[in-house]
Amino acid sequence: MVVAVAEESRGADHARPWIEQAKSDYWQLIDTEHRLEDLYNLVNVPQAIWIDEQGKIVRPPETAGSTDHFRGMDLKTRTMSPKAQEERLAARQAYMDAVRAWVTTGKHALPEDEARANLPKVTPEIAAAHAHFRLGLWLRANGRAAEGDLQMAEASRLHPDSWSLWRQAADLDEVGKASGPAFWKRVQDLGERPYYPPPKL
Amino acid sequence: MTKILAPLAEFDVPVRDGLWMSPVDAEKVTGWTLKPEGMCRDYLCVPLPEQALGTNEVDVAAFWKKLGGPVVSSERRDVWALGAPAQDRNAALEGLDAPDFTLPDVDGTPRTLSQLKGKKVFLATWASW
């Protein structure tokens, strides 16, 4: 069973066009408060967690099929080279194949100690960042956008590795801003570090 | 009334000087009950610092910090958020039981992860932004 969760503070109607286009028969949930990211210590989309029949995590949060090829994009034409596109699609296919193999044969599920070792640790700063973000959302939703933005900026300061908190705040400020010049500057500042760490399959 | 965004719900409660409130409201907001031993939940009691206890009132901000949870407020201090303590999140994840949650689907129907026990679940996030 697929459970797809939209980390979407603008709400269901904002996510609806994508969901309708997907024509899915699985759950399509709306997480306006980014609650799942708080519970599972997520930092970006798409991320996935694999959960077995007993409700146990068998693969902790990992990048779900996306790659860093977009970083080599020509920003004027917004296109990638054919080679980059090919590699990107191949990586996505490999991840989808891994998910299917797990469903049918159990392959790729990690032993407990390995699953545990691969969990990203929640720090007090990360916990505080989620509290600031939630407060920021409430303030924004109640006509106090400037105050809300301060809380969200504090959330990103405390948890700079979370692209979700930063990009959602940018999107709430203005649709499109989450992939605007400030986003690209932030991506460039990663240097050698990945935006989408590849899953270890 | 002060708005408090607690981990599982939102509350409007009368407070003074931060988050001093009645033990009844403290229990409503935190899920912990004031007893002579301290703040208690199930079989666990956390002693309260002396300065966090008044005559028929409790400093919930001090208690929550003692639990290790973040306490943040708006500049006007009329809206507060109590976050889950980092060590609670880590302990829950390290147990490897997938933390349960209920979220609405696109039509508003609440869906709970644990309803899917017995099936493999590929839990994935996405966003429009």
The 10s digit of each residue's pLDDT in A27-66 is: 999 999 999 999 999 999 999 999 999 999 999 999 999 9
**B36: in domain:** yes
Range of the domain at B55: 2-89
Name residues 10-49 of chain B within 8 A of A (Cβ).
Answer: 10
Q: Are A122 and B90 in contact (CB under 8 A)?
A: yes
**Joined tokens for residue B37:** 């031993």
Residue B46 has pLDDT above 90, yes or no: yes
**What Rg, from alpha-carbon coordinates, does chain A have?**
18
A139–chain B Cβ distance below 8 A for any pair: yes
**Joined tokens for residue B57:** 């009132």
Of A6, A170, A179, the CB nearest to B126: A6
3-state secondary structure of A64: coil
| Amino acid identity for residue A43 in this structure | V
User: What's the pLDDT at A78?
Assistant: 86
pLDDT digits (tens, 9 = 90+) for B103-127: 999 999 999 999 999 999 999 999 9
Binary contact (B79, A7; C-beta < 8 A)? no
**B113: in domain:** no
**B128: in domain:** no
Helices (H) and strands (E) in chain A, counts: 8, 4
Binary contact (B120, A103; C-beta < 8 A)? yes
Binary contact (A55, B3; C-beta < 8 A)? no
Could you give the dihedral angle defined by the CA atoms of residues B2, B3, B5 and B9, in that order, rounded to the nearest 10 degrees?
A: 110
Of A41, A138, A175, the CB nearest to B89: A41
Average pLDDT over all residues of chain B: 97
**B96: in domain:** no
Q: Tell me how many domains chain B contains.
A: 1
Q: How far apart are CA A132 and CA A138, in angstroms?
A: 10
Residue in chain B closest to A105 (alpha carbons) equals B120
User: What's the pLDDT at A33?
Assistant: 97
**B39: in domain:** yes
A83–chain B nearest CA distance, Å: 25
- Reported as a pLDDT band with limits 50, 70 and 90, residue A76 is confident
**B76: in domain:** yes
Q: Considering chain B, what percentage of its residues have pLDDT values greater than 70?
A: 100
CB atoms near residue B113 (< 10 Å): 22
**Joined tokens for residue A167:** 């990009």
B37–chain A nearest CA distance, Å: 27
Residue A142 has pLDDT above 90, yes or no: yes
**Could you report the predicted ipTM of this complex, rounded to two decimals?**
0.97
Residue B8 has pLDDT above 90, yes or no: no
| Amino acid identity for residue A57 in this structure | I
B69–chain A Cβ distance below 8 A for any pair: yes
Q: Where are the alpha helices (DSSP H) in chain B?
A: 23-30, 60-67, 86-94
Binary contact (A138, B99; C-beta < 8 A)? no
Q: What is the mean pLDDT of residues A107-117?
A: 98
Binary contact (A138, B5; C-beta < 8 A)? yes
